[in-house]
Chain A
Amino acid sequence: MRTRHVLIAAAVLLVAVILQTSLFARIRPFDVAPALTALVLVGYARHFPPETAMLLGFGAGLLQDLLAVSPLGLWALVMTAVAYATVRFRGRIEEDFKLMTPFVFAVTFGGLFLFAVLGTIFGEKTLADGGAVKKLLMPAIYNAVLSLAVLPFTAWTIGASRRPGTEFRL
């Protein structure tokens, strides 16, 4: 891994955050948008060393916090957890690639659920939202579908390659 790869990942995460807040303001099937930043983070956390992956997650989350009105640190914590979960499970996923889509669904749902719980604890009334279940499920479903395109793209941006039976290597 080189510094260049980390910088590319950071830049793509920044673009994801911007697209999340601008493009997906209008394209919202069933009035819900994908959680693009979480998906891109999963894409990079598969390839980077654990510490780098978690720092990337923390940074992406902090950027989201700075663009949101929720308390600073909420998204940072959630995205760090998403990166950690990816790092922990990536070995098993790479062994059986069919698990990737269900994993993306689970980790997105889990991340959003963690955000909802923490948001409620910190006074955001997140779980009081009438459409909470839909807002947890739909982005997870969208992410699972989008992962088929986004994950190869993130791997391509950092030149990661995979041979059958081996781990990804940079």
Chain B
Amino acid sequence: MWRPGGIDRSTSLLIGLIVLSLTLLTVDLRASGAGVGATLREGVQGVLSPVQRAVSTATKPFAGFVESLSDLFSVNADNNRLRERVLELEQEVDRLRSLENRVREFEVLLGVVTPAGLDTITAEVLAVGISEFDHIRVISKGRNDGIGVGMPVIDEGGLVGRVVSVTATTAHVRLVVDPIETVAVRVERTGETGWLSGRGSGPMILELLNTDAAVLAGDILVTADGKYPSGIPVATVVRAARSEVGFSLRTEATPSAALSRIDLVYVLVYTQDSPGITVDDGSGRIPVVVPEDPGDRTSGESEEEPVTTTTTSVPDDPTP
């Protein structure tokens, strides 16, 4: 084989493999998640997912032991903090009960189906991404179980992420904290809308435009986007902030879901393209989309696509 003078065999091979890698990169990016790359991925993941499942199960006791060791140090502090929190929450619950009743009345009037009304698929987290930069979780359900790309994934805390690729038996979930992800959100207390961007590690960035009200530490942010059903808790504001003239409000929020310790998740059977009617309530905020015919939807019974959503189109004139 011809080689330029001064380049040894290993360097030639290195150059060849780099060229091959770049070719693969180009071909895969052009295929946009389809083509030979997708077929190979599905094959490999199909073969290895049972092994990952077995290893994950077998090592669970050991991993649990290590986890509990690290937890031991923070148990006392956690107990005190949680006691105080319980008292606060008991008061909060009383207030929320009355609000909940009121919301139900409005929902009945509007025909809105809440995320709780969607079908869910329970799945176990089998594996994580290859590197610390992959904000990915592999879950134990796939296409055969009814999971599709784009479906939102939640845990008991709130939004975990969304499905970005599916094989027959597994699915990849991209976490909301991934720098690629941006979620349209609404501040639950004030109703102001904006977006929340992941940063990989640490708190997420909340940006609100045209906001009159300040956000406070502890404000809960819920989804307000066609990509996700509305009303799912996404994050809690860490730092209070007020918008300055001519600038958007920008602050930080921590994810509601326990992303570093996800074990079981729920995939919402929901797609962005579900039909709906946009209802502009005249408030200048993101309009709500309600189903054309909500019908009688109960969890686990509906065969139709769920339709509750909101759109991200913000009216030109945000003033009420």
Contacts and interface: CB of A to CB of B under 8 A. Distances in A.
B70 A29 contact: yes
Looking at chain A's contact residues, the main secondary structure is: helix
Given A73-B21, A76-B21, A129-B199, A23 B132 contact: no
B110 interface: no
A35 interface: yes
A115 B13 contact: no
Contacts of B130: 17, 20-21, 37, 64, 67-68, 70, 75
A124 B128 contact: no
A131 B202 contact: yes
Nearest to A28: B260
Looking at chain B's contact residues, the main secondary structure is: helix
Nearest to B64: A26
Contact of A24 (B48, B128, B180): B128
Given A27-B63, A131-B202, A68 B29 contact: no
A8 interface: no
B255 to A, nearest CB: 13
Indicate the member of A18, A23, A74, A115 with the most B CB atoms within 10 Å. Answer: A23
A119 interface: yes
B132 A68 contact: no
Interface residue tally on A, bucketed by range: 35 or more
Given A27-B63, A130-B201, A22 B132 contact: no
B131 A80 contact: no
A124 to B, nearest CB: 7
A54 B179 contact: no
B49 to A, nearest CB: 9
Nearest to A134: B201
A18 B52 contact: yes
B9 A50 contact: yes
Nearest to A119: B133
28 contacts: A22-B52, A24-B128, A25-B137, A50-B9, A64-B130, A66-B40, A67-B130, A68-B130, A69-B129, A72-B28, A73-B21, A77-B25, A80-B14, A80-B17, A80-B18, A84-B14, A122-B25, A123-B29, A128-B179, A130-B199, A130-B201, A130-B202, A131-B199, A131-B202, A132-B201, A135-B200, A135-B201, A138-B132
